[in-house]
Structures are given as structure tokens and as C-alpha cells.
């Protein structure tokens, strides 16, 4: 497969496609990350700024520590973002993150499809062995979506973070390459 730095991959699923994030997506990213229904599900809940996002692009995306995609409907409407962060080429692993930023796109399976696409990308394109994620334990909808995508729970950490005046539990989930259940028939690649 081709190297992500040499191409601009588009990962196509059944109802969505993923395209690499660019600087023009900053306005949507900031708007989405600051909306209450997105922010409350993140461990990092401080206000998201344009300057902070630019810093993220310069220090993480541009350096190859992060690969970030925009989730788009088949009609081309951007509805969220999915990414691999802290890409570790020595241990062949990364951390997964996602958010659906448009309320009318929630509950349509876009998150599960995006997860399956980026997992396959992580394993086949980046050569990773393991993709992990962290989520707040009370985010049951995300947990179910991650399970559908093939992630399994590895740890449950009590009172791990302090948010909004209370301690919250955090779940670690992961998917390992040889255990991947990604359905190859539903994914098309376009480079």
C-alpha cells in the first residue's frame, strides 16, 4: 500500500467517506469540539480554540504524530472527525479518537463505519499492530459503537479523571491486528 505522506487517501464506506483534514476544516473542528454534546464526552473538556487547533496541526498532524480525517456523508457534507494520535512506529500502536459534530448525523452508524475504516487504514496502511482508545465509562452509546467496530475492553479505571466537580471512571479499549473483525467487503479504497 502507499504511504499516507505521499498521497491524499479517501477511505470509502457504505454511507460515508473519510478524507484527510486540512486547515480549511478548522472552523468546523472548533465549532464541533465546543458543542456541549461533543465536549461532554471528551476527557479533555476545556474550550477549543482556533489557535489551539492550529497548534495541533503544526505539532501533531504536520509531524506525523497524528493522522486526522474528516467524516463526510456520501453527499460530501462534513459531519465529524476521526483520528489516530500518538502514532508509535516502534511499538506499532496509536490511540483512536472520534467525534460526530453534527447533531443530525448522530445515531446513523457513521461512527462505527468511521472506526472500521480507520482501523483498516491503521493496520494495512500504517502497519500498526494495536489501536487503543479511552472513553468515559458513562458514554454507553460510544462503548457500543466501539464494540461493533471490534474494540474490546482492556481496563476499567475507577475515579480516573475529575470533570465537572466529580470523579469519573475511564475505560480502555483496544483492537489488535490479528483479532480484527473489520468487514473488508464494505470498504473501498481510493488513493
Beta strands in 15-55 (DSSP E): 16-20
What ranges make up the beta strands (E) of 49-165?
67-73, 78-88, 93-100, 130-136, 152-163
For residue range 16-66, list pLDDT tens digits in order: 999 999 989 999 999 998 888 777 777 777 788 899 889 989 999 999 999
Question: How far apart (Å, rounded) are the C-alpha atoms in residues 155 and 31?
Answer: 32
Cell numbers that stand for 104 in this block: 443530525
pLDDT band at 156 (very low <50, low <70, confident <90, very high): very high
- Give the model confidence (pLDDT) of 53-105 as tens digits: 899 899 999 999 999 999 999 999 999 999 999 999 999 999 999 999 999 99
Q: Supply 101's cell numbers.
A: 459534530
Q: What is the pLDDT of residue 11?
A: 92
Give the Å distances, CA to CA, from 61 to 64, 104, 109, 115.
5, 28, 26, 19
Query: Going edge to edge, which strands form the sheet with 67-73?
Result: 152-163, 166-176, 130-136, 93-100, 78-88, 67-73, 16-20, 10-12, 188-190
pTM of this structure? 0.84
170-183 tens-digit pLDDT: 999 999 997 445 54
Q: In a 3-state reduction of DSSP, which class is residue 159?
A: strand
Question: Given a cut of 90, is residue 119 above it in pLDDT?
Answer: yes
Amino acid at each position: 500500500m502507499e504511504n499516507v505522506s505521499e498521497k491524499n487517501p479517501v477511505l470509502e464506506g457504505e454511507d460515508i467517506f473519510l478524507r484527510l483534514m486540512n486547515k480549511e476544516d478548522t472552523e468546523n473542528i472548533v465549532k464541533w469540539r465546543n458543542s456541549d454534546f461533543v465536549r461532554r464526552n471528551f476527557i479533555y473538556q476545556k474550550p477549543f480554540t482556533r489557535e489551539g487547533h492550529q497548534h495541533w496541526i503544526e505539532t501533531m498532524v504536520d509531524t506525523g504524530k497524528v493522522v486526522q480525517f474528516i467524516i463526510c456523508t456520501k453527499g460530501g457534507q462534513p459531519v465529524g472527525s476521526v483520528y489516530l494520535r500518538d502514532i508509535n512506529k516502534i511499538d506499532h500502536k496509536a490511540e483512536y479518537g472520534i467525534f460526530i459534530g453534527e447533531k443530525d448525523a448522530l445515531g446513523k452508524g457513521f461512527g462505527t463505519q468511521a472506526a472500521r475504516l480507520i482501523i483498516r487504514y491503521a493496520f494495512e496502511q500504517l502497519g500498526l499492530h494495536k489501536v487503543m482508545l479511552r472513553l468515559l465509562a458513562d458514554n454507553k452509546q460510544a462503548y457500543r459503537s466501539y464494540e461493533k467496530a471490534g474494540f474490546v475492553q482492556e481496563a476499567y479505571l475507577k475515579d480516573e479523571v475529575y470533570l465537572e466537580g466529580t470523579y469519573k471512571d475511564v475505560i480502555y479499549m483496544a483492537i489488535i491486528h490479528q483479532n480484527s473483525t473489520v468487514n473488508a467487503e464494505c470498504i473501498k479504497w481510493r488513493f
